[in-house]
Amino acid sequence: MISEELKAQIEKWIDDLKYQSEGFVEYLKNFPPDNSSYWCTLTKACVKVPVEKLRQKKGILYVGDAGCGKHSAAYTGVLQLVNQDFSAVFISGDNFNFLTGEQYGIYEGLNTLLDSYEQKNLCLVLETPECCIDSSELLRRLGQFACMYAVHDELPLLFLMVITEKESCIPNLLRERLSTVRCTLPSAEQRNAFIQSYYENISLFTSAEELEEVTEGLNFSQLQDLLDYTKNYFEDERADDKLLLEQLYTQLPPKSTEMYKQLFLQKAIDFIDALPQLLERIPTANNVQYDRKENLSTEDSTNLQDKNLNIASFDNMTTREIAVDLFGEEGVAEIEMAFAK
């Protein structure tokens, strides 16, 4: 049992949560999030089913670095469920901290919150659960409620969305009731789709190829900041492409260590994918000499010796020397600095 004082605090807490959540749903209806990302497509596919089938559906666990589209995807799903007559409540992990000082406090808080929606279907959005002082208890209890609502048809529907940067904090019981969506930095195609959906007129000033280069490594939040600035600065549509690119470069955020790691990983993946084709285009020294040695001019002979020398040099190069050849000295230095932190 919990104290009467804590019961009163829980009731007020729930009233505040409902009031704030209702206001935020109205905000989302008037200012819906961008839904061009792949994560939004996955979310819509998950929740856009007949209501009677949602009990068998798992909730969604969104993981990834800040700004990669976790919240936009979740809010897209919330709007879809609200259109299917769901209520929605938004909670963060630190909202539960006042409940951690008393035994069964978190259980009573969650139980009272769910009961307060009576027979209404509910979408519960929990972000940063790791910010709760007793996050393990919070997530354990949430997993228990998720399983209970999944097997009891007499209960209303409960659809969970959990948003975190720390996937490892999610216990197995709760994970069983969640499908994981891992949000990463947007690809060039995703950046272009986001840019075109957000600011169509940008094509008047610059090409898709230039935008890909300028925005490489940016997350969705940083892209939106950049586009907000661009729309305000070039609203009169009189700027030329050179001025646009110059101004965009001045507004780019500094690259983080994690960004360098992700960029390096993506470049490494691209290089590995292309490696078979690259190797097919590199003749071995013996093959070249055998095919052409009888009809070589003096100039051809000199070029062949240079090619053979380059191939032999490549075989003797260290890993770092090859990396410098691929990424440049400055790029390798930045990569080494990023991985050293």
237-273 pLDDT, tens digit per residue, is 555 556 666 666 666 666 555 555 555 666 666 667 6
Residue 127: beta bridge partners?
92, 163
99 pLDDT more than 70: yes
What's this model's pTM, rounded to 2 decimal places? 0.66
In this prediction, residue 133 has a pLDDT band, given cuts at 50, 70 and 90, of very high
Of 300 and 56, more confident:
56
What confidence tier does 306 reach under pLDDT thresholds 50, 70, 90? low
Task: Report residue 96's pLDDT band, with 50, 70 and 90 as the boundaries.
Answer: very high
Residues whose CB falls within 8 Å of the CB of residue 169, separated by 6 or more in sequence, listed in order = 129, 130, 135, 136, 139
Band of pLDDT at residue 36, cut at 50, 70 and 90: confident
pLDDT above 70: residue 200: no
220 close to 37: Cβ distance less than 8 angstroms:
yes
Q: Are 245 and 206 in contact (CB under 8 A)?
A: yes
Q: Say if residue 303's pLDDT is above 70.
A: no
* Percent of the chain residues past pLDDT 90, beyond the cut: 38
- We find that the CATH architecture of domain 4-182 is 3-Layer(aba) Sandwich (3.40)
Mean pLDDT, residues 156-171: 93
Can you tell me the distance from the alpha carbon of 264 to that of 280, in angstroms, rounded to the nearest whole number?
24
Stretch 123-152: mean pLDDT, rounded? 95
Question: What pLDDT is stored for residue 80 in this prediction?
Answer: 94
CB 94 within 8 A of CB 58: no
In this predicted model, which residue has the larger pLDDT, 281 or 231? Answer: 231
d(CA 307, CA 281): 13
The domain locations on the chain are 4-182, 188-251, 257-340
| pLDDT surpassing 90 at residue 23 | yes
Is 197 within 8 Å of 41 (Cβ atoms)?
no
